[in-house]
A and B are shown apart, each in its own frame.
Chain A
Amino acid sequence: MIWSLRKRTRGKRELDAFFGKGIHFEGDLTFEGTLRIDGFFEGEIEGGTLIVGVDGVIHSDISVSDVVVYGEVRGNIRADKRIDIDALGKVYGNIEAPSIVIQDGALLEGTCRMEAESNTLAAVIPIDAVSQGEETLLRRGADLQDMREMTEQDVLLARVKLLIIMCAAYLKDYPLGEYRRDAIIENANHVATGSEDVPVCREWIQEDSNSTDGMDLTYVLRERVRLLALMAKGFAEGNPMGQFRRQALEENIDFIGGAINFSKQAVDMRFLRVA
């Protein structure tokens, strides 16, 4: 089915068509002007300015002039002018436009490509990049209101997460070069020393973490982190890792990750496949 909507009036963000909540639409859609979708849409969309409302769910590739995403899109988005993903927005697909704004809190699972209006590739930017005129400044780290100097505890927690990623990469058989081995050993030594501080470990634990059959979770976490450091040093130094040791390493990663609410799957580490 192909639907075509014609623009009736001109004006920014003035709605020309509206698919309300509860409407389920399947087919290809071409429109002019501004269209807002708050229902479910499956098919291909081409046209002017598209607004995906908070309740909107789109399963399709989108090719429009501008798009603002407050809801969910599963498909690739290409815009001639601008893509704006609101803090509530979720996009599972690749996005491409000359101007891209991804609000803090938004979800993007896919690549993000900014292309100059001359169709010359300008830059490939990750989440959180903010367009500033013609320049693009990648911004990462704390939100504006949370900016402060880093404490030793901040660094130690970041090191524990890095150690988890180092171990996860090893279990994926990612290559270990000379410098990587030394870096793993160095990080493991820092973590093993730092995690002896029990109050610090207590701060890491998420409130909803599972208890450990009567044992103090802080104590268990500290010992598991120290064990993880030992395991990491072991494989970095070339000690043999049989099937059961690999399983134990995997299990330890999962426990620590769960306790501190850190998922290794949330970190894109594919670039580590080459050393």
Chain B
Amino acid sequence: MENVKIAVVDGDATVRAFVVNLLTYCVNRHVLSFEDAESAWDHFQGHADIDIFVLEVGNSGGLDVLERIKERDAGRICVAMSSSSEDEQRAGKLGADAFLAKPFGMDDLFAVVQSFVAEEGKSTTAV
């Protein structure tokens, strides 16, 4: 996926900073960062430029925003994150493309990048 734009949403600043840091390194592009799902949704409504959402769905509004994103454009990739197996099931039913069960590691995020960004030998384009 060329010129991919990724948004990371997590209320936990430590986790969010790590995910943003790793993804920035992987795709060599600026990665958007949001503390809550509604802020990400507001940005998406205004710009619609986000290709991949990495979205904590265990907190308030995460699943709701996931549903809205998929309703608006099913082609946008949504990677749900949570420490709850119930959220995993709900996210799957709402159309999430991937689920990151907390706690996850760097190799798990690499797998996400490989699956949705760096498919079949392609990679991202430098800015």
Contact = CB atoms under 8 A, between A and B. Distances in A.
B102 A150 contact: yes
A179 B112 contact: no
B40 interface: no
Contacts, number: 150
A260 to B, nearest CB: 12
A109 B13 CA distance: 35
Nearest to A128: B111
Interface residues of A, number: 51
Nearest to A127: B111
Interface stretch (A22-30, A70-78, A182-190): A182-190
Contact of A124 (B24, B108, B113, B120): B120
Interface in B68-127: 82-85, 88, 92, 95-108, 110-115, 117-120, 122-124, 126-127
B30 A179 contact: yes
B24 A141 contact: no
Which one of B28, B115, B126 has the greatest number of beta carbons of chain A within 10 Å? B28
B26 interface: yes
A151 B22 CA distance: 17
B29 interface: yes
A126 B111 contact: yes
Contacts of B85: 144, 147
B120 A141 contact: no
Which one of A155, A159, A273 has the greatest number of beta carbons of chain B within 10 Å? A155
A137 B25 contact: no
B24 A140 contact: no
A253 B126 CA distance: 27
Contacts of B60: none
A177 B115 CA distance: 21
Contacts of B83: 142, 147-150
A271 B101 contact: no
Contact of B100 (A141, A274, A275): A141
A161 B118 contact: no
Contacts of B84: 147
A178 interface: yes
A147 B89 CA distance: 14
A157 B105 CA distance: 8
Contacts of B123: 271-275
A268 B126 contact: no
A124 B111 CA distance: 12
A147 B102 contact: yes
Interface string A113-128: 0000000000011111
B14 A138 contact: no
Contacts of A137: 92, 96-99
Nearest to B113: A271
Contacts of B99: 137-141
Given A183-B21, A271-B26, A138 B127 contact: no
A69 interface: no
The 4 closest A-B pairs by CB, nearest first: A141-B104, A271-B118, A274-B123, A141-B101
9 contacts: A132-B92, A141-B102, A148-B83, A150-B103, A161-B106, A184-B25, A190-B17, A271-B117, A271-B118
Interface of B: 12, 14-15, 17-18, 21-22, 24-30, 82-85, 88, 92, 95-108, 110-115, 117-120, 122-124, 126-127
Given A142-B101, A148-B103, 7 more contacts: A137-B96, A141-B103, A147-B103, A179-B25, A187-B21, A267-B110, A275-B123
